[in-house]
Amino acid sequence: MSEFKVKAVSQFINRKDYSTLLRKVDENGAHQPEKLKFFYCVHCGAPVDFDVENAVSISDTCSNCVLLVKRGWMEEAIRNYEGS
């Protein structure tokens, strides 16, 4: 694996862990004083940009995961996460 790929994959794993915690907080309502609906990346679970007015997500993939998908590294990143 190239150094860049190793970094990208390890950041993906960090995002997954972070997102799991963040989602728990969101589900408890701590970040949703007005019951704002958040949208999450389908790959790592990090919050993605969304259109607040229309409550629709702009993308189902976060900008960091877009790179992994583009380069064909996503499957390997997921395997690494599952093995971690």
Which residues of this chain interact with Zn ion, rule CB under 5 A? 41, 43-44, 46, 62, 65
Helix axes 63-71, 74-83, angle to 10 degrees: 110
From the CB of 34, what's the least distance to Zn ion, in Å? Answer: 25
Select 29 or 46, whichever has its Cβ closest to Zn ion. Answer: 46
- Say how far apart CA 38 and CA 52 lie, in whole Å: 9
From the CB of 66, what's the least distance to Zn ion, in Å? Answer: 8
CA-CA-CA-CA torsion for 50, 55, 57, 62, nearest 10 degrees? 40
From the CB of 16, what's the least distance to Zn ion, in Å? Answer: 8
- Say how far apart CA 19 and CA 47 lie, in whole Å: 8
Select 9 or 43, whichever has its Cβ closest to Zn ion. Answer: 43
Select 8 or 44, whichever has its Cβ closest to Zn ion. Answer: 44
